[in-house]
């Protein structure tokens, strides 16, 4: 009998498949449906720093966190009306009464300005942990890399002052030195890193000749991003790692655990296959564990991290050469 239990940031998960923040984690009924289908835990739909910090009008006057584009201003007003902070706290309170899986709150943030006080209310409402979705796209070529990196540390230290529940940071992968950023952030006392945050894709509609968002859902091959970095760094990070992006079935979840992740946070596959697919993912994990005689997650967690590879850069270079010269016959 395979045992899928694991512990993420001190929270007991009955299995490592967590629902990442998305529309599927925005109401009590939807979370209950995920729980009924076997999910190990949930990260709630994010509230935005802008919602917490200011009334819509004052955001617009200050022009601080959003650009002064009128359509964007109108959208923020609309969003704030629809998504009252008290509703968010009530969602946490209600969920803690009605589900038994861990409930992680989520704030999407770009700065450490003011909003972090609100994390106390999130803790008081009963959230088991908090995940910060740091969504900072480095648009400004004049800003130095180290100034952008500092923002992440400021956000972490500011949030940590207000809460004692576990704190996770969901990171993008656009950094000058991603390895260093991950290792250094893991030393700040945070409990988890979610690798990675998937930024909205950029695309162009060539008929209207306008910018349009690219695919909202990930493709299965995008899993190579978390796999590579978790495999490279899992032995050196000082906190738990959750894998996100491109995990579309139970076998994908197995791959991330082999690299050293503690659990996965999924969204696209739930949108594509529905909540009932979670049961199938669990079956796939159990099937693989049985076939390979692994009785528990810890029996194979981190087996494929690269701590024992002497020179990963050299290995990568060798694979690159082999792969590209190996395809000459296709020309």
Ligand X SMILES: Cc1cc2nc3c(=O)[nH]c(=O)nc-3n(C[C@H](O)[C@H](O)[C@H](O)COP(=O)(O)O)c2cc1C
Please name the residue ranges forming H helices in 66-142.
70-82, 85-98, 119-124
Report yes or no: 294 and 300 within 8 Å, Cβ to Cβ: yes
- Dihedral (C-alpha) 145, 216, 68, 140: value to the nearest 10 degrees? 20
Residue located via tokens 């959003």: 66
Sign of the four-CA dihedral 157, 162, 168, 174: negative
- Kindly state the greatest CA–CA separation across the chain: 63
What element of type H or E holds 325?
helix 312-325
In the bound complex, what is the minimum distance in angstroms from residue 222's beta carbon to ligand X? Answer: 6
- Smallest distance, ligand X to C-beta of residue 285, A: 16
- Minimum Å gap between C-beta 308 and ligand X is 29
Q: Within 13 A of 271's CA, how many CA atoms are on the CB side?
A: 15
Taking the least distance from each CB to ligand X, the nearer of 26 and 298 is 26
Q: Which is nearer to ligand X, 6 or 218 (CB)?
A: 218
Smallest gap from residue 293 Cβ to ligand X (A): 29
When the beta carbons of 132 and 294 are compared against ligand X, the nearer one is 132
Token pair belonging to 317: 């270079």
Rg (CA), the chain: 20
Binding site for ligand X (CB under 6 A): 20-23, 45-46, 106, 108, 133, 170, 198, 216-218, 244-247, 265-269, 271
The residue (of 95 and 294) whose beta carbon lies closer to ligand X is: 95
Taking the complex as a whole, how short is the minimal distance between the CB of residue 311 and ligand X, in angstroms? 31
Is the peptide bond prior to 196 cis by the omega test (within 30 degrees of 0)? yes
Task: Closer to ligand X by CB, 135 or 288: give it.
Answer: 135
* Residue (83 or 121) nearer to ligand X, CB: 83
Q: Which two tokens stand for residue 254?
A: 């197995």
| C-alpha dist (Å) from residue 120 to 101, 126, 165, 189, 288 | 21, 10, 10, 18, 42
- Contact (CB, 8 A) for 215 and 232: no
- Minimum CB separation of residue 170 from ligand X in Å reads 5
C-beta closer to ligand X: residue 30 or 198: 198
CB of 24 to ligand X, least distance (A): 8
Q: Which is nearer to ligand X, 189 or 220 (CB)?
A: 220
- Phi then psi for residue 214, to 5 deg, are -80, -165
Which residue, 154 or 249, has its beta carbon nearer to ligand X?
249
Provide, rounded to whole angstroms, the least separation between the CB of residue 17 and ligand X: 11
Query: Smallest gap, in angstroms, from Cβ of residue 198 to ligand X?
Result: 4
Sign of CA dihedral 281, 285, 286, 290: positive
In whole angstroms, what is the distance from residue 272 CA to residue 283 CA? Answer: 18
């Amino acid at each position: 009998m395979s045992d899928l239990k694991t512990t993420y940031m001190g929270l007991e998960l009955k299995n490592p498949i967590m629902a990442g923040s998305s529309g599927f984690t925005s109401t009590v009924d939807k979370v209950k449906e995920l729980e009924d289908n076997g999910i190990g835990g949930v990260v709630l739909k994010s509230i935005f720093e802008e919602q917490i910090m200011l009334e819509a009008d004052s955001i617009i006057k200050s022009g601080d966190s959003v650009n002064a584009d009128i359509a964007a201003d109108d959208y923020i007003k609309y969003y704030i009306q629809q998504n009252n902070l008290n509703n968010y706290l009530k969602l946490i309170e209600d969920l803690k009464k009605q589900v038994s899986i861990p409930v992680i709150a989520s704030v999407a943030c770009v700065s450490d300005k003011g909003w972090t006080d609100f994390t106390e209310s999130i803790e008081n409402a009963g959230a088991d942990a908090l995940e910060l979705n740091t969504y900072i796209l480095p648009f400004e070529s004049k800003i130095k890399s180290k100034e952008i990196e500092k923002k992440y540390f400021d956000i972490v230290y500011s949030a940590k002052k207000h809460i004692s529940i576990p704190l996770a940071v969901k990171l993008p992968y656009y950094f000058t030195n991603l390895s260093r950023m991950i290792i250094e952030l893991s030393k700040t006392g945070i409990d988890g890193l979610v690798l990675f945050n998937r930024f909205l894709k950029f695309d162009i509609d060539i008929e209207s000749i306008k910018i349009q968002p690219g695919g909202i859902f990930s493709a299965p091959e995008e899993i190579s991003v978390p796999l590579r970095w978790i495999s490279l760094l899992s032995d050196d990070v000082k906190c738990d790692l959750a894998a996100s992006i491109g995990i579309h079935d139970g076998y994908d979840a197995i791959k991330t655990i082999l690299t050293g992740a503690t659990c996965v946070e999924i969204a696209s596959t739930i949108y594509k296959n529905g909540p009932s697919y979670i049961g199938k993912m669990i079956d796939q994990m159990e099937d693989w564990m049985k076939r390979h005689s692994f009785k528990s997650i810890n029996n194979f967690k981190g087996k494929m991290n690269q701590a024992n590879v002497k020179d990963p850069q050299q290995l990568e270079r060798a694979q690159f050469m082999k792969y590209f010269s190996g395809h000459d016959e296709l020309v």
